[in-house]
Structure 1
Amino acid sequence: MAEIIKESFERLLKEQNIPNELYSKYQVKKGLRNEDGTGVLVGLTRISDVVGYRKDAKGHVSPSKGHLYYRGLDVEEILRHAEGKRFVFEEVCFLILFGHLPSREEMDKFKAVLSHRYELPTHYLESSILSFPSQNLMNKLQQEVLMFYRYDKYDPDSTNPFDILEKGVNLIAKIPVIVCYTYATKIHYFDNQSLIIHQIDPSLSIAEQILHLLKKDGRFTPKEAEVLDTALVLHADHGGGNNSTFTNVVIGSTGTDLYSTISGSIGSLKGPRHGGANLAVRKQMKAVIKRIGLDATDDDIRMIVDKILNKEFNDHSGLVYGIGHAVYTLSDPRSELLAKKCEEISIEKHRHDEYLFHKRFSEIAVEEIYKRKGKPVCTNVDFYSGLVYDMLGIPEDLYTLLFVIGRTVGWIAHNIEDKLYGGRIIRPATKYVGEKMDYTDESER
């Protein structure tokens, strides 16, 4: 019986294909991207800005140093001012949500609100998480976010911007806890490990809370917490055009509830071309190190990069994961900032040789790709994030989930902004390029 599906699909491929030249003929912009690779403008925002190239008066694009701005503030400057003084992810959440840097009093009050909301509803852990383990934690998190619809004390369907803000702050606080508890449940039921559930500590920052809940003894170093805090800051937002944020706004524009929009964003982020890329980088680098070793010469690295580009190594995709970005050209500021933290934690963990190898590999990969494509590329945030998480003792199952924890605040902010100032259902058009047919009676088919 399955043959009918296969045969019908093969007929579909043969008779209903869309030739690539039709996209040019009808000026359809694949992936909402212009011919020069820049993105098609689909909205306006005051939340964040991603700068990776310059456009002159004639529209010509030229490469430039990358910058990421949250509410007009350079993220590099934000982190530099907080260096060694305080955890900054919660401060960035406040900035992204409310548009200004908080005073000390505002920050204390906001942290108190978040810490008060760490706690899950009564019996939620037992009834929803422990009783329903899942091998795929991204899918599980989607389910848990949807589950919070029924726990909403007010109107779960309300799309009033202030109500969205209230629900969103609740999710920012609870998602890290859910992530840690679903992981503990997964490794207990599917990996035969001991079930260790730590109590939530309301005195901890979000980065500290994650490490406390994940580590078997609940202990972590100040440097570990600082590095994770930085990673969360760098993932907090990336403009309204990134796939998961655009997904959030598209779904939200229909007037549906926040839980549905966040769940959809998580599904988007799961993909290896988006949030799942950090895991793809980690697998790639493990394979490279296994083949040529950390002591490999530059020529050895150049050889393995060429094999990857020639589809002869790794997953045979021809892609060097962690190198290149849709917007950044000369540099990705997130990658540069995370590389700095990666080096710091590598020294504490006595794994500096791994960091140095990654650095050499990235430099050579950038050179080789430039030789082939003739345009500059750079490492992106995914290149170092997997290595950083591994040095923090965070398992691969959670790499993309940490991206979710960081990005939730951006999703919420854009959702609210679109409701305040956009207000229309997002509905682009497509061009029909098939043929018209006459109906054929069943007896004549």
Structure 2
Amino acid sequence: MSREAIKTIILIILVAFSLLLTLALWNYQPNLETVDQGDGLIEETDIGGSEKNVRKLLAPEQIIYHNDGTHYGYKNQEYIEEAYRRMQYWSLFNISVSEAEIPEEEGSLEIIFPSTLNSESIRNIFPIENQEVTLPSLSFDRAFVQWKGGEAEIRFLTPEGGQMLEASIRPGDMTAITQEVDDDSMWEEHTMFQQDEDRRIYLPAERKEVPKDVVVTETLPSKPLKNVLFEDPTVVKQFPLSGGDLRHSDGLSRMDLIAGQKKMRYLNLVTENSSQSTSAFNPEEVLQESVSFVNNHYGFTDPFRVRNVRSAYGDVSFDMYYNNRPILKDSENFTGINVRFEEGILQEYKRPMVSINPYQSEADAPGENQVSTLVSGKTVETVIIDSPKYDKGEITDIEIGYKLVSQGGGFSNYYDLIPAWFIQVNDEWKELKDVDTTVRRGGGV
């Protein structure tokens, strides 16, 4: 065989080998493991909730209609939510400041918010015609609305405040409300606790039926929170705590999963011992910053509302709601959100690590839902006044809310949601246990 023939054969072999390698590369599928996004290489920061605006979170706790010396409240909590939705279209103008004065109660509405708010929060509730107007730094926890003839006005104040902010409302904006107050089927009589014009606590005069329920918790992911709360999640170490709880720490801050891992508590260790006790934010900034922070990781995983804004401490708390009523007691203390800033830096964050959903069993049938019949507000007042256990002067609010009772002593995901009367003392809610409730099923006594 000649040299040229050998070269030709070698060249053909090389070309064929090259084609085989090319084909192999085209068809090769590497066996690579998917990178765990939750480990921080690709930051996942969504815990599965939703974003909420401040307006939605500032829903009033009560709306009271005063007429002929009698106080009336909406029969159903849903009516309050619907009325509040309509109020958000009221256009305010002619804003001014004057000496605080609670208007005559004849034909007026009293809108009661669950927390004392700064006047800047008014922008989050109502549209203001002149957006350039400067609102003075006043506080309010309620608004009084009056209308007569072709005029309507609203006043924002606290009962103990020296000044109030007042504004005019377009009479046309009031049409739905003025028609609604004439519908007796929507209202029930309320009584003012101890006739105290300073605290202005209103209670339903008659017994109140409130739905009970059974709910089940669903665990929320913790890795997105680790990505949110730690500057470098890859250096975070995990340590076991007693009772199956867990601690995550990078040496500068820590995130604990406690209460059977149903609650998260984050603490910034760098500023833990700081001597500063005030926030660099004003009250409105504290609220906005807290809501924005929770929204950034879709942290409103259940219906929440603002419960308390303590601007001096940079502290905002949110209560979980069910059937438009707050959950004010749970044995493991995991249903509330609390955000605290110090000098503009996140200092502490506490929140549920579960969401709550109604439990539906195959045995459930229409008309079989349970309700609790709670004693009247008049009975509640009598019990409080007659009992030596309560300091009447320290009570700042009285409300019907829910208590969450575990069906398995804290080890179960199933809970009874039971309505009860609560009193508020020093910003803490306590169940009023001295009153009886009767439970009925499906309309039977």
- The TM-score bracket by the shorter chain reads under 0.3
TM-score under structure 1 length normalisation:
0.20
Q: Which has the higher strand share?
A: 2
| Structure with more relative contact order (C-alpha pairs < 8 Å, separation 6 or more) | 1
